[in-house]
Amino acid sequence: MPDDKGDDWLNLHSFIILCIAMAVVVAGTAIGYIILADIHQGSSDLVYRAGSGDQVEVDYVGTFEDGTVFDTSIPEVAKNNALYPKSLSYEEKTNYVPLSFKVGDGQMIAGFEAGVIGMATNETKVLTIPPEEGYGYSNPNLIETKSLTMTFPVYEWTTNTTTFEQEYYVPAEIGTTIKHADYGWNSTVSYIDPISDLVLLKNEPNPYETIYVFNDWPSRVISIDTSADSGSGEIKVRHLLTEADANNIMSSDSNGNKFIVIDVDTSKNTYTIDYNREVVGKTLTFKVTVVKIIPTSQNP
């Protein structure tokens, strides 16, 4: 009987040692995982977080300090102008899908990329990005101040007859009257050069007629002098812009370059336009949600 009890004690002792060993192995594995997670994530949780080299997909809403949306990947935001008023430069997209990029590749502005690092899937964060971490500061060479009064010739050489007919869908003949493509007033073919085949138009706006030179704001004909400028004539037009139009009008010049009216000074008879992109020189806010993370090891 003593021998049997001794055997039982040895078996119990062995079982206890085995349990302790297994606990040590499990604990060691967990600690090892946490250490590995810490190396990549910089935290002690077990959630995978985006790091340099990872491919990520994010939904986002980009806004200016006044709350207007300049860009988004979310269709509900894009379609709802009442809750999400849009900025002057906002452009509709054909498809609204999460933005995909590789962290650390320099595809995104610095502040956006840095803000995504450390985020987990389904996590949402609001990023405030100053100009130096966004699109930089404005180029003063792209800002121009112009007179509110413009002048145009009464007699104006335009295109050749072929281009004229393609543009206006009427024969290029002396006496033909068209609506001027740029100014919107009546113009009549006055002469066709037999050598160059160029068409000479006589611009014939009505006094005080309202026109849309840039198609985005009205202007008014204030005087017509057919004998000025050595016979070329002069038509004076005044832009009907007010101080309230500053930062509320975006348009394009004759070359298709976009600009924003940033100032109107009626006392000086001037207005100022800015060819810098609207996001340049501004503090931006992005509400970002991580949709998917593909760790570096799974990238091709």
Residue 186 has pLDDT above 60, yes or no: yes
Please report the pLDDT score of residue 29 as a whole number. 44
CA torsion sign for 71, 73, 75, 77 is negative
Same domain membership, residue 7 and residue 103: no
The predicted model scores a pTM of 0.76
Cα Rg of the chain, angstroms? 35
Please report the pLDDT score of residue 4 as a whole number. 45
**Residue 86: DSSP 8-state:** B
Q: Measured between alpha carbons, how far is residue 211 from residues 28, 59, 185, 214 in Å? A: 80, 43, 7, 9
Q: Tell me the pLDDT tens digit for each residue of 58-88.
A: 999 999 999 999 999 999 999 999 999 999 9
Same domain membership, residue 239 and residue 209: yes
Please report the pLDDT score of residue 22 as a whole number. 54
Q: Name the domain count of the chain.
A: 3
Residue 169 has pLDDT above 70, yes or no: yes
Same domain membership, residue 147 and residue 203: yes
Please report the pLDDT score of residue 297 as a whole number. 67
Among the residue ranges 11-20, 91-100, 142-151, 203-212, the one predicted with the least confidence is: 11-20
Residue 149 has pLDDT above 60, yes or no: yes
CA atoms within 13 A on the CB side of 154: 15
In Å, the largest CA–CA distance within the chain is 137
Same domain membership, residue 167 and residue 67: no
Residue 200 has pLDDT above 60, yes or no: yes
Same domain membership, residue 169 and residue 126: no
The first and second tokens of residue 141, run together, are 């060479």
Pairwise CA distance, residues 124 & 116, whole Å: 10
The first and second tokens of residue 80, run together, are 């709802």
Same domain membership, residue 232 and residue 114: no
Same domain membership, residue 98 and residue 179: no
CA atoms within 13 A on the CB side of 13: 6
Pairwise CA distance, residues 178 & 201, whole Å: 10
- The fraction of the chain above a pLDDT of 70, given in percent, is 83
Same domain membership, residue 177 and residue 102: no
Same domain membership, residue 156 and residue 96: no
Do residues 154 and 235 lie in contact, with contact meaning Cβ atoms separated by under 8 Å?
yes
- When pLDDT is averaged across residues 24-34 and rounded to a whole number, the result is 43
Same domain membership, residue 293 and residue 214: no
State CA 279 to chain mean position distance: 7
Residue 37 has pLDDT above 60, yes or no: no
- When pLDDT is averaged across residues 279-287 and rounded to a whole number, the result is 98
Q: Give the count of beta carbons closer than 10 Å to the beta carbon of residue 219.
A: 21
Residue 163 has pLDDT above 70, yes or no: yes
Nearest alpha carbon to residue 289 among 98, 54, 42, 103: 98
Same domain membership, residue 113 and residue 62: yes
Please report the pLDDT score of residue 89 as a whole number. 97
Please report the pLDDT score of residue 245 as a whole number. 97
Same domain membership, residue 265 and residue 165: yes
Of the pLDDT bands very low, low, confident and very high (cuts 50, 70, 90), residue 126 is: very high
Most confident among 18-22, 34-38, 121-125 (mean pLDDT): 121-125
H/E stretch holding 79 reads: helix 75-79
Domain of residue 17 covers 1-46
The first and second tokens of residue 223, run together, are 């005087």
Pairwise CA distance, residues 146 & 265, whole Å: 10
Nearest alpha carbon to residue 290 among 105, 167, 132, 115: 115
